[in-house]
Structure 1
Amino acid sequence: MLTITGIPLDAIPAWAVLQRRLFHDIEEAWRLFESRYTGPDGGILFPAEFTDRDGVDDVYEPFFNWPAFYLLGGSDEVLAAAKRQWEGVTAQLTAAGMLTGEYENGYDWFHQGESLLFFYGLCAADPGDEAFAARARRFAELYTDPAHGNYDAERNIIRAPHNGALGPRPGLNDTVEPYSASLSEMERYGLPLEYVPGVARWSDLAEPKAARAMGEAMQRAAAGDVVVNLAATGLVANRWLRDRDPAAAAWIVRYVDGWSERARANGGLVPDSVAPDGTVGGLHDGRWFGGHYGWTWPHGLPSVGMATVVGGLSAALVTGDDRHLDTARRVLDTVLEQAVVASVAETPYSLRGSWLARLGDAADAPALLVPHRYGRDGWFDYAPMPLELPTWLWWWTHDPADRARLDRVREGLPVTPDPVMAFRDKAEAGHEAPWLDFLAGRLPDYPERALSMALGQVARRVALILADDSDPATVHLHFWQRVNPVVTEVLTQLAGGAPQVLYNGGLPFTAVAYADADRDRPGLPPDVAALVTAVERDRVDLELVNVSPTQPRRVVVRPAHPASPRLVAVDAVVEDGLDFPGPSTAYAARRGTARPVRLEADSDRVTVLLPPAHRAELTLHTAPAARTAITDRAENTKERP
């Protein structure tokens, strides 16, 4: 294994101090959250009662990023707490009748993807945990094994929009429910189906007969496959990462290719639904749009785009072939072809509130807006493109065309008074633009500003918890998501060199991973801060700082980007003629002459020795993993990073 020794610091960088303070504050905050809102078994303190199929995701989501915090350097206790919470919440949901065999009975993959982020994170945080590895295999087989009924191997479709442990579930509920205008919170999304006789506009749903007709039509149309089911490939890829099972890889490729073929037959743009007999639009009079969580309702681009990116990444992961991302690329390019320039404030976009929070006063400025949905009158619901979609495509491939698309979307956003806006939504995303500007050299103080903002996020969540005197039985089911004090977006960007995980079913990837050599566990050692300053397909630049004035640290660094995980060489900086700390009579230590060195790699990782108040500057040169076929197995998938 390569070993590199850091060089002494004359001054501790502010970003490093802020990053270590963020680790400290999150450690205090998650313990407060746990003590206030979870019981001894890890379950959330609320009566787990549900009236329909919705709600499983809301109980897992408050903890979705706790395993990620552990992997970045959080304490052993936060991982133990996260496992306890998953077990407790799972038991809670099982008792409520929402799970069978620890897995959701059956719901749409927009929400299943949200539910599973916590599980994926735990699998990544401790790949040696046999219980979670067994669950990963068992959950994936709900889709890869036709005996469970979810997957129709002959037609290459998932059999229903609602699917899971009980197989394909009929309709959207166990009984038909009228879809009435009294559902005022849903009015902004418009009609779920646009071709129901007697229902031409939202106000028509005020008539009981029309509301019943809509409910019955929705129940009938909730059959066959829908494009959002592509997120199920993440569940199978999570299993593949554990054991490199060739059948799992083959299932991912076949299922993704099926949707890619349908896109090609539709002029390049992926349709959103397939009837039980395998025909595109068979439940919608042949229309390629109108499926559940598809192009028309309720969100369009965020759900379709997220699912196609997750599916493409899953197939690229197991094959090494980025062409599997072409369907997702075409989704983004199609809406960009319809883009207009207008302000967010003047658009009637259905999810406008989140963009108003992100942009502040800049919401009145002109911006590049793309249509998010397509219906009987064509493209509609214009807003900025969710930046995480083109960001993940570029981050994975580093293809110039993917970068050009990303730059167009990024440049179409209005200039905000503060490029690092202090906001946080449940996905804990939305700061891709300033991070990309930092990587491009346009916002050099992003680390300090972003870490300061993240510290403010933790402080606000803690204040909300301390001020809360509500009865857990009466709070909104989203409350615990809203006060989750674990923040990882900025840490993932700065230390991991990656965007925040895709919220509707993405797997947790980073460009670089760390381990504490002295404690033999993943993550940065205590007192060590990390800053990734450049990410390319074959290179990662980073800086490590030990902020402790007394304790030496040893950190293991390895490239972790799935498309380029093999370490080829390491560039470092050494100082010749260094006299540190020098005599006490000197006003300052005598610095040496900085000199770059290159070390050829004889291992997949490098150990960095950091004496007290030392730093190291590294460039990891990487290459794709050797792979001859998707049937290749890992040599030892249980090894810790």
Structure 2
Amino acid sequence: MRISLPPALRASRTLTTPPQWAALQRELFAVQDKAWRIFSDRYTERDGRLVFRDTLGQGLDGRDGVDDFYEAFFNWPTLYLLGGSADVLAAARRHWRGVTGQLTEMGMLVDGFERGYDWFHQGEGLLLFYGLCLAAPDDGELRELAGRFADLYLPGGPNYDPEHRIIRAPHNGAAGPRWGFSDHDVYFPWSLALRPYGLPLDWIDEAAPFDDLAADPERARAYGRVMWDRMGRGDTIVNLAATSLVTNAYLLGGDPRHAAWVVEYVDAWRERLDGRDVVPDNAGTHGVVGEHLGGRWYGGHYGWSWPHGLPPVGTAAIVGAANAMLLTGDRSYLELARNPLDVVLRHAAPMRPGEVSTITNRWRPHLRGLEGEPTLLAPMRRDDSGWFDHNVMPTQLPVALWQFSRDAADRERVDRLREASSWDWTAVHTQRTKEESGHEEPWYEYLAGRNPGFPERMLRSAIDSCAERVESIENDAVDPAVGPDAFGIHDWQNRNPVVTEALLQLTTGSPQVLYNGGLAQMHVRYFDADRRRPGLPPDVAALVSGIDPAHTVIELVNLGNAPCSLVVQGGAFAEHRIDTARADDEAPRPVEGPYVGVRLPGATQVRLTLTMTLRAGRPTYAAPPWEVAR
């Protein structure tokens, strides 16, 4: 049966003076198309692997490093999805294959998947794979791998205990549970870099001051053995990031087993709240909270007592809740995501940030010159002494939750943070973290109508960031024939010149993906109907200035002379229904589906106003029907 499709909207406004934001956006696409090639030429070999003559698996825990190799390319498929060249997708696929072979040779992967490590890091390393699946959903190899990887966590797979609804260990993967933290006879896996955070289990008899343990190997081993036994088995909340692996498989293939497992596992964590004030971070081998931690709901691996507390716990809660809601439409799952944010905010207070030793580089540009001025700081962690380690609230969490839910209560939470901050939320700082995020606040202010110059400033900042990365590549002193040693593998992430945060915010109305294992959550997406591929057509720029479902506003500009056609899709996975669409001041047209076609003659522009119903349809990676743009 042929589906009746509404006729495409047509731009009728002639472009006289191109908007500055549109010219800058196309410039950003152009400079990145050159920059990623410079990175690839400098740091990779013919088969796509990274230049690296050292080995992994020899360090203190013997398990770290897989994510760092994949992270160097994590946002390259996203650049293609937004409108980057087809070459960048081909390069991302080649590098993913090359790195997979490289890590397999080093014994870090089994059948293409991580042998076994925590999901704080696995979530980071899988972003490249998720991006490739979203960009090329018809790729048979990716589809087969996605299903096989997901089955590692389903009933019958090695990692999941369906009786107790737990992932059986904090370190897990293709080889099943990987008990403890190390394959070596080293029981104190604690880096000197983490000294400011203290010990995660300071209440056990074997605990001692950090320096005493570092100076006494036998005492350190005694502490580490207890830490291994109490924290190295059972479930931990960051394992919720594994729901993205299984959701990714569902979005590719639609297997109901995958959706059912995501719901079952997230439900288990919802039930572990069990009347508590805050979601716990651990469950033992029998599914009991605090089973190996003296009844404590805190103390799990990458949980409330472990660095960095709220960021990994909050991210995992949002990721798990969002995946379950995406697959079921049940909004009550978002209470799991809200809980850790609201609990720490209840204990927040105005404090001087200059007195905090663990403030990260993410916040230093914002707080520069304000170290003596109180601002709202929230406790990131909890132990027997109570809530502690006050820090700037990681704004990416409440902003991502609001963008996903669009609920008034989630917007109010962000507004309360803004009002209690001493620093300027409209400022755009040219800074780069490995997450390639950090500009949620000025984007939020733009959507609220309080930061009108944001698009131009953000795009210039992104262009400058790309140029800085290229300069650092050209001045890199590491021998290009040898590459870094095992301690320098983060340099690849630090020099990755692909910058997608600005493009995600401005073209799709979306923040950067949650870095520790989130899936893309785009408000809208675009497809080039003439080339039948994802992304904006060449010479076309897009600006989303409003993401209210009842009033989504998109400006589309064709800077070129050739006509083109595109498809606007509701949601990253066609999960949003576009109810009506209006071009400029024309009367709204009914759409009643996830797609609307737009035709842009040369040198024209159009403002689209959409009304949408969020998550009204079955999510899928499948491409749109191209005839919608006829």
- TM-score range, shorter-chain basis? over 0.9
DSSP 3-state at the match of 2:556 = strand
> Is 1:447 paired with 2:440?
no
State the 1:215 CA deviation: 1.8
State the 1:199 CA deviation: 2.3
> Is 1:536 paired with 2:548?
yes
Q: Partners of 1:367 and 1:306 in 2: how far apart?
A: 23
State the 1:176 CA deviation: 3.4
Superposed CA RMSD in Å reads 1.9
State the 1:622 CA deviation: 1.6
CA contact (8 A) 2:283 2:289 kept: yes
Deviations 1:108-127 (Å, cap 9, x if unpaired)? 00000001111111111111
> Is 1:230 paired with 2:230?
no
Structure 1 residues 133 and 612: alpha-carbon distance in aligned structure 2, compared to 1, 3 A threshold = same
> Is 1:319 paired with 2:304?
no
State the 1:225 CA deviation: 0.5
> Is 1:239 paired with 2:245?
no
Give the corresponding residue for 1:589: none
Q: Which moved more, 1:495-504 or 1:597-606?
A: 597-606
> Is 1:366 paired with 2:374?
yes
Deviations 1:506-548 (Å, cap 9, x if unpaired)? 0012111111121111100111000000002344210011122
State the 1:277 CA deviation: 2.0
State the 1:626 CA deviation: 4.9
Give the corresponding residue for 1:577: none
Give the corresponding residue for 2:390: 382
Structure 1 residues 362 and 218: alpha-carbon distance in aligned structure 2, compared to 1, 3 A threshold = same
Q: Which moved more, 1:314-323 or 1:607-616?
A: 607-616
Give the corresponding residue for 2:27: 21
The correspondence for 2:211, drawn from 197, 203, 206, is 203
Give the corresponding residue for 1:614: 604
The correspondence for 1:570, drawn from 581, 585, 598, is 581
Pairing 1:585-596 to 2, within 5 Å after superposition: 595-596=585-586
Q: Partners of 1:561 and 1:83 in 2: how far apart?
A: 20
DSSP 3-state at the match of 1:469 = coil
Structure 1 residues 53 and 180: alpha-carbon distance in aligned structure 2, compared to 1, 3 A threshold = closer
Pairing 1:150-229 to 2, within 5 Å after superposition: 150-179=159-188, 183-205=191-213, 206-221=215-230, 222-229=232-239
Give the corresponding residue for 1:585: none
DSSP 3-state at the match of 2:35 = helix
The correspondence for 1:46, drawn from 52, 56, 63, is 52
State the AA in 2 paired with 1:110: F
CA contact (8 A) 1:317 1:562 kept: no
Pairing 1:153-552 to 2, within 5 Å after superposition: 153-179=162-188, 183-205=191-213, 206-221=215-230, 222-265=232-275, 267-348=276-357, 350-416=358-424, 419-471=427-479, 472-475=482-485, 476-548=488-560, 550-552=561-563
Deviations 1:108-164 (Å, cap 9, x if unpaired)? 000000011111111111111111111111111000132x32000000001000000
DSSP 3-state at the match of 1:263 = coil
CA contact (8 A) 1:397 1:537 kept: no
State the AA in 2 paired with 1:424: R
DSSP 3-state at the match of 2:279 = coil
Q: Partners of 1:640 and 1:116 in 2: how far apart?
A: 29
Deviations 1:165-196 (Å, cap 9, x if unpaired)? 00011111113314288x42120221132123
Q: Partners of 1:5 and 1:617 in 2: how far apart?
A: 10
Give the corresponding residue for 2:3: none
State the 1:358 CA deviation: 4.2
Q: Partners of 1:223 and 1:306 in 2: how far apart?
A: 21
Structure 1 residues 275 and 623: alpha-carbon distance in aligned structure 2, compared to 1, 3 A threshold = same
The unaligned stretches of length 5 or more in structure 1 are 574-594
Q: Which moved more, 1:17-26 or 1:251-260?
A: 251-260
State the 1:214 CA deviation: 2.0
State the AA in 2 paired with 1:618: L
Give the corresponding residue for 1:5: 10
Q: Partners of 2:236 and 2:527 in 1: how far apart?
A: 41
Count the aligned residue pairs. Answer: 610
Q: Partners of 1:78 and 1:344 in 2: how far apart?
A: 41
CA contact (8 A) 2:318 2:337 kept: yes
Structure 1 residues 356 and 603: alpha-carbon distance in aligned structure 2, compared to 1, 3 A threshold = closer
Q: Partners of 1:231 and 1:384 in 2: how far apart?
A: 23
State the AA in 1 paired with 2:581: V
State the AA in 1 paired with 2:217: P
State the AA in 2 paired with 1:228: V
State the 1:640 CA deviation: 7.4
> Is 1:559 paired with 2:570?
yes
Give the corresponding residue for 1:590: none
Deviations 1:193-223 (Å, cap 9, x if unpaired)? 2123242422221322321122212221210
Structure 1 residues 614 and 362: alpha-carbon distance in aligned structure 2, compared to 1, 3 A threshold = farther
Structure 1 residues 625 and 490: alpha-carbon distance in aligned structure 2, compared to 1, 3 A threshold = closer
State the 1:77 CA deviation: 0.4
CA contact (8 A) 1:317 1:563 kept: no
Structure 1 residues 180 and 529: alpha-carbon distance in aligned structure 2, compared to 1, 3 A threshold = closer
DSSP 3-state at the match of 1:284 = coil
TM-score by length of 1: 0.92
Deviations 1:530-577 (Å, cap 9, x if unpaired)? 0000002344210011122x322222212125595112110111xxxx
Structure 1 residues 407 and 416: alpha-carbon distance in aligned structure 2, compared to 1, 3 A threshold = closer
DSSP 3-state at the match of 2:612 = strand
CA contact (8 A) 1:564 1:624 kept: yes
DSSP 3-state at the match of 1:505 = coil
CA contact (8 A) 2:403 2:510 kept: yes
State the 1:598 CA deviation: 1.3
The correspondence for 1:78, drawn from 88, 109, 132, is 88
CA contact (8 A) 2:10 2:583 kept: no
DSSP 3-state at the match of 2:599 = strand
CA contact (8 A) 2:181 2:189 kept: no
Give the corresponding residue for 1:580: none
DSSP 3-state at the match of 2:543 = strand
TM-score by length of 2: 0.93
Q: Which moved more, 1:425-434 or 1:186-195?
A: 186-195
Q: Partners of 2:578 and 2:484 in 1: how far apart?
A: 53
CA contact (8 A) 2:513 2:520 kept: yes
Identity of aligned residues (%): 47
The unaligned stretches of length 5 or more in structure 2 are 1-5
CA contact (8 A) 2:558 2:600 kept: yes
Q: Partners of 2:564 and 2:536 in 1: how far apart?
A: 10
DSSP 3-state at the match of 1:97 = coil
State the AA in 2 paired with 1:445: G
